[in-house]
């Protein structure tokens, strides 16, 4: 391997690292670069809502805040201050998330997919810009199983893509409970399905917030030698079937979807099927969480 | 214009897509190309080639992070152009050009083993970067992705040039150790 090979491989690192690198340097770049139209660089930096679909929903909800919410905001601010003082600055994402959830009845559901499409990735040779999921090797499956069991057992952390921190499931729930208005966050059940058909199943955990059982799910996925967690709103993923398809709500392109994942996150794939046919499919079997033993995971 | 609107223009095969890309990301791509090529004309050509590559790849590809998608193309094209220029300086003649032309006849350009190895190496580097502190990672990416000079990085981060050099030295050492451990 030559240095040039390494330099070329570095060219395909995660897009988030590429964008992150310039976050604090845009202003300086503007000063230094007079020979090109750097005015575009402000726009280069994606807003949170472009990166994460759920933040789009937060933006929507913020526009529609009612007076009654002011109290909640004050409480949230106090809670956040306390949390920061206690060294727990990670609940902001949860706060946004839950705030939107609490206000979900005030507005119609509007899901904005950041990519604006539902196409699965195809590899682009010329650009060498993105990578596709590879078929699992037996070792991948075993490594995934071991890691996912460790996370389910609370022995190991997973990387929460929404809040961009590594947490255990217990900490994930505890962070949620820091948000004013949230009394309890529990994982009540789990199942495993190969959502993206890469032969390595994902774990789907059902989240119960206060008394709400339609909050959403936490999808745990083994990826790049670590377990990553993606939080889905209930309406982004429900009625999960054994063939890994599921229902969504609010997308004009259709109700039934499946998922793909890449380094940027998840993407919907449209499934062309009549609603009645989808309803006839076998649903997944859910198991109580926490379970006594996860040794039969993936079997 | 929002990124998804620009991408929709590509899907609609509207040439306006190129114009909007240039308005929004022309400077960004030029900056990447110029850091590699240090030549205005070459950099401009790389940017134009980037637009052509985007035009060829969208559709079917739908980039999830348009800026990074364009940046990666620009970087790849500029590095190829740089290598070509270097080869011409060394030997000149038609050989490098012929080699470049022949590349298009080879389906992948590298063997499946090489492709797999590169993919595994990429995964290792992503994991390595993920384990660095945010500042270290950003400095590494500024230097080895954007090819910013140590001086530029020092200005961007408010560090001294020697501190940047020392940080980069440490990160390279860590990467060397990590890659050895991974079997490279």
Contact A126 B31 (CB under 8 A): no
pLDDT bucket at B84, cuts 50 / 70 / 90 = confident
On whether the CB atoms of residues B61 and A130 are closer than 8 A, the answer is yes
Q: Give the predicted TM-score (pTM) of the model.
A: 0.42
More confident site: B18 or B89: B18
On whether the CB atoms of residues A58 and A101 are closer than 8 A, the answer is no
What's the pLDDT score for residue B50? 94
- Does the N-terminal peptide bond of residue A290 adopt cis geometry, omega within 30 degrees of 0? yes
Q: How many whole angstroms separate alpha carbon B99 and alpha carbon B105?
A: 10
Say if residue B23's pLDDT is above 70.
yes
**Is the CB of residue A47 less than 8 Å away from at least one CB of chain B?**
no
Contact B156 A115 (CB under 8 A): no
Write out chain A's pLDDT in tens, 299 residues: 677 778 888 888 888 888 888 764 444 333 333 222 332 333 333 333 333 333 333 333 333 333 334 444 444 444 444 444 333 334 445 555 555 555 443 333 333 333 333 333 222 333 333 333 344 555 678 889 999 999 999 999 999 888 788 899 999 998 888 776 678 889 999 999 999 998 899 999 999 887 777 788 999 999 888 899 999 878 789 899 999 999 987 666 678 999 999 877 888 898 988 888 898 999 999 999 988 878 778 77
Say if residue B11's pLDDT is above 60.
yes
Chain B residue numbers touching A42 (CB-CB < 8 A)? none
Chain A residue numbers touching B71 (CB-CB < 8 A)? 18
Given the DSSP bridges, would you call strands A212-223 and A265-270 parallel, antiparallel or unpaired? unpaired
Mean pLDDT of B120-125: 88
The answer for residues whose C-beta is within 8 angstroms of residue B27's C-beta and 6 or more apart is A33, A36, A37, A38, A39, A40, A41
Q: What is the ipTM of this complex?
A: 0.80
Q: Which of B31, B65, B144 sits opposite A33 (nearest CB)?
A: B31
pLDDT bucket at B161, cuts 50 / 70 / 90 = confident
**Is the CB of residue A1 less than 8 Å away from at least one CB of chain B?**
yes
Contact B134 A36 (CB under 8 A): no
* Proportion of chain B above pLDDT 70, given as a percent: 85
Chain A residue numbers touching B87 (CB-CB < 8 A)? none
**Which residues 131-150 of A have a C-beta within 8 angstroms of B?**
131, 134
Contact A124 B57 (CB under 8 A): yes
Contact A128 B125 (CB under 8 A): no
* Proportion of chain A above pLDDT 90, given as a percent: 22
Chain A residue numbers touching B144 (CB-CB < 8 A)? 7, 10
Chain A residue numbers touching B125 (CB-CB < 8 A)? 9-10, 13
**Is the CB of residue A3 less than 8 Å away from at least one CB of chain B?**
no
What's the pLDDT score for residue B53? 92
Nearest CA in chain A to B157: A25
Say if residue B106's pLDDT is above 60.
no
Task: Please give the full DSSP string across chain B, using - where no structure is assigned.
Answer: --HHHHHHHHHTT-THHHHHHHHHHHHHHHHHHHHHH--HHHHHHHHHHHHHHHHHHTTT---SSHHHHHHHHHHHHHHHHHHHHHHHHHT-SSHHHHHHHHHTTSSSSS-HHHHHHHHHHHHHHHHHHHHS-HHHHHHHHHHHTS---HHHHHHHHT--HHHHHHHHHHHHHHHHHHHHHTT-
CA distance A16 to chain B (A): 8
Chain B residue numbers touching A48 (CB-CB < 8 A)? none
Q: How many whole angstroms separate alpha carbon A61 and alpha carbon A46?
A: 19
The side-by-side arrangement of strands in the sheet containing A202-209 is: A165-167, A158-160, A226-233, A212-223, A202-209, A185-193, A287-288
**Which residues 55-84 of A have a C-beta within 8 angstroms of B?**
none
Choose the mutation target among A112, A116, A261 for the interface with B, i.e. most B CBs under 10 Å. Answer: A116
Instruction: Please tell me the total number of residues recorded for chain B in this structure.
Output: 184
pLDDT bucket at B47, cuts 50 / 70 / 90 = very high
* Average pLDDT of chain B, as a whole number: 84
On whether the CB atoms of residues A20 and A73 are closer than 8 A, the answer is no
Per-residue DSSP letter, A218: E
Residue A40 has phi, psi (to 5 degrees) of: -70, -15
Q: Which of A21, A39, A129 sits opposite B69 (nearest CB)?
A: A129
- Give the number of A-B residue pairs with CB atoms closer than 8 Å: 178
Q: How many whole angstroms separate alpha carbon A283 and alpha carbon B1?
A: 42
On whether the CB atoms of residues B71 and A18 are closer than 8 A, the answer is yes
What's the pLDDT score for residue A61? 37
What's the pLDDT score for residue A113? 35
Per-residue DSSP letter, A121: P
More confident site: B135 or B92: B135
**Is the CB of residue A269 less than 8 Å away from at least one CB of chain B?**
no
CA distances from B60 to A128, A189, B8, B11 (A): 14, 38, 11, 8
What's the pLDDT score for residue A101? 54
Taking Cα atoms as reference points, which of B78, B111, B133 lies closest to residue A11?
B78
DSSP E strands, A147-225: 158-160, 165-167, 185-193, 202-209, 212-223
Contact B134 A20 (CB under 8 A): yes
Least confident of A114-118, A173-177, B53-57, B151-155: A114-118
Nearest CA in chain A to B36: A7
CA distance B93 to chain A (A): 23
What's the pLDDT score for residue A49? 34
Q: How many whole angstroms separate alpha carbon B48 and alpha carbon B52?
A: 6
């Amino acid at each position: 391997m030559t240095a040039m090979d390494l330099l070329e491989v570095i060219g395909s690192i995660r897009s988030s690292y590429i964008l992150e690198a310039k976050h604090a340097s845009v202003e300086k770049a503007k000063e230094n670069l007079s020979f090109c139209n750097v005015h575009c660089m402000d726009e280069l930096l994606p807003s949170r809502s472009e990166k994460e679909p759920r933040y789009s929903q937060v933006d929507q909800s913020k526009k529609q805040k009612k007076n009654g919410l002011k109290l909640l905001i004050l409480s949230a601010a106090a809670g956040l201050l306390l949390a920061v003082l206690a060294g727990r600055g990670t609940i902001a994402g949860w706060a946004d998330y839950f705030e939107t959830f609490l206000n979900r009845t005030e507005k119609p559901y509007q899901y904005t997919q950041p990519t604006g499409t539902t196409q699965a990735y195809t590899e682009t040779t010329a650009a060498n810009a993105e990578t596709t999921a590879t078929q699992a090797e037996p070792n991948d499956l075993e490594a995934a199983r071991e890691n996912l069991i460790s996370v389910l057992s609370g022995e190991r952390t997973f990387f929460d893509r929404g809040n961009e921190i590594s947490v255990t499931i217990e900490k994930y729930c505890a962070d949620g409970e820091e948000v004013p208005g949230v009394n309890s966050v529990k994982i009540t059940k789990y199942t495993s399905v190969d959502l993206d058909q890469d032969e390595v199943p994902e774990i789907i955990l059902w989240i119960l917030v206060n008394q709400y059982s339609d909050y959403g799910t936490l999808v745990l996925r083994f990826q790049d030698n670590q377990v990553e967690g993606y939080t889905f709103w209930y309406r982004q993923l429900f009625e999960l079937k054994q063939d890994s398809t599921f229902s969504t709500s609010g997308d004009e392109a259709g109700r039934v979807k499946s998922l793909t994942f890449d380094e940027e996150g998840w993407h919907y794939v449209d499934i062309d099927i009549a609603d009645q046919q989808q309803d006839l499919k076998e649903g997944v079997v859910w198991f109580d969480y926490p379970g006594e033993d996860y040794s039969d995971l993936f079997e | 214009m929002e990124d998804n609107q620009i991408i929709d223009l590509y899907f609609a095969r509207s040439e306006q897509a190129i114009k909007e890309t240039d308005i929004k990301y022309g400077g960004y791509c030029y900056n990447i190309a110029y850091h590699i090529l240090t030549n205005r004309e070459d950099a401009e050509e790389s940017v134009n080639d980037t637009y052509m590559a985007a035009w060829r790849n969208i559709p079917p590809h739908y980039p999830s992070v348009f800026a990074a998608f364009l940046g990666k193309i620009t970087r790849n094209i500029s590095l190829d152009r740089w290598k070509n220029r270097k080869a011409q300086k060394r030997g000149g003649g038609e050989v490098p050009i012929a080699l470049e032309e022949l590349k298009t006849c080879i389906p992948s350009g590298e063997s499946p083993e090489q492709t797999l190895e590169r993919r595994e190496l990429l995964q290792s580097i992503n994991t390595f970067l993920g384990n660095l502190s945010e500042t270290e990672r950003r400095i590494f990416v500024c230097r080895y992705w954007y090819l910013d000079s140590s001086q530029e990085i020092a200005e961007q981060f408010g560090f001294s040039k020697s501190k940047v050099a020392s940080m980069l030295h440490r990160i390279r050492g860590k990467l060397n150790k990590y890659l050895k451990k991974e079997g490279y």
